[in-house]
Structure 1
């Protein structure tokens, strides 16, 4: 069993091009910009609009969320915020969590940042935290993300038919997971 407060001391992860550091108030500008990027909103299904105070409050609360890990994705070459990546919904008994990633707009798409951050977090979750299973949901038209997840070891488990509504159209949601040792 994994301790329910495992992420009390959240670590920073480093990859060849990125630093994944605990998400906090210092990431407001990047988070705010991502929340207003139309393509990022479409790919993450973000219908809600947030006030500046709501975003600042959310970022400030991350340090006290010990059952999850929220990382800002920072490009090493210039310390730019390129997105966020999250392990959430810890179930200590089944040693499982959910995965989510959001990149901050078209200027950072297609550069490998999503692949690099995803691999780092999945490896950390399975090899260091000791998770047995990490799952995610992705809209069917986000094939770029699906390819990244498959490269990292996720397998499609199912389809939630017409579970995503965006701009007046229904789309399916693909359920994927990676399991330790498989």
Structure 2
């Protein structure tokens, strides 16, 4: 198991990754209700404000995962989240996911947030690898992940039905060794 009870503040060039605060809820709600976020995450459940607020109010207490708000430094507002969760003991790995709402898109914030959280995890834990899944109809995210060093591990065909079409889920991974090669070049 990896202890992620310490919740860092990670300052980047365009973003700050930090624990969630009560004031963040309206911004996270905006992100979660965004049609593009709903599509790209494959979300199928109805939005339940009370459940969502409770969920985010308990994220800082979790020792087995790391949930951080992505703050756009230029606007000082939350535009999304990064999450490290789902520890896999056999592979000594964890899963990564990111969500960027409408106020944070197309400005490199997701790219920077991805790199910053990956660097933090590999510098501060002993994890062997980080994994993720991305739907095939999300070319921007796939490109960000490839630039960060993730490689395709497998493809789950027809994982999501969206508007009558079946969408594949692409499983990717980044090993500590590959990250070290990339990190020393940057």
TM-score for the superposition, normalised by structure 2: 0.90
Query: Hey, what does 1:178 align to over in structure 2?
Result: 174
**Inter-CA distance 24–58: structure 2 relative to 1 (3 Å threshold):** farther
Moved more, 157-166 or 24-33: 24-33
Distance in 2 between the 1:161 and 1:93 partners? 24
Q: Tell me, yes or no, if structure 1 residue 12 matches structure 2 residue 9.
A: yes
Query: Hey, what does 1:34 align to over in structure 2?
Result: 31
Q: How does 1:42-57 map to 2 (within 5 A)?
A: 42-57=39-54
Distance in 1 between the 2:144 and 2:36 partners? 18
Cα RMSD for the two superposed structures: 1.4
Query: Hey, what does 2:145 align to over in structure 1?
Result: 149
Q: Tell me, yes or no, if structure 1 residue 123 matches structure 2 residue 102.
A: no
Distance in 2 between the 1:28 and 1:150 partners? 31
Q: Tell me, yes or no, if structure 1 residue 90 matches structure 2 residue 83.
A: no
Q: Tell me, yes or no, if structure 1 residue 65 matches structure 2 residue 65.
A: no
In the TM superposition, structure 1's runs of 4+ consecutive aligned residues that sit over 3 Å from their partners are 91-94
Structure 2 gap ranges (5+): 179-186
Query: Hey, what does 1:162 align to over in structure 2?
Result: 158
Distance in 1 between the 2:150 and 2:110 partners? 14
Structure 1 gap ranges (5+): none
Task: Compute the displacement of 1:93 (Å).
Answer: 5.8
Distance in 1 between the 2:169 and 2:86 partners? 19
Distance in 1 between the 2:28 and 2:153 partners? 31
Say which SS state the counterpart of residue 106 (structure 2) adopts. coil
Q: Tell me, yes or no, if structure 1 residue 102 matches structure 2 residue 99.
A: yes
Number of aligned residue pairs: 178
Distance in 1 between the 2:87 and 2:23 partners? 25
Task: Compute the displacement of 1:49 (Å).
Answer: 1.4
Q: Is the contact made by 1:71 and 1:86 (CA closer than 8 Å) also made in structure 2? A: yes
Q: Is the contact made by 1:160 and 1:172 (CA closer than 8 Å) also made in structure 2? A: yes
Distance in 2 between the 1:67 and 1:44 partners? 22
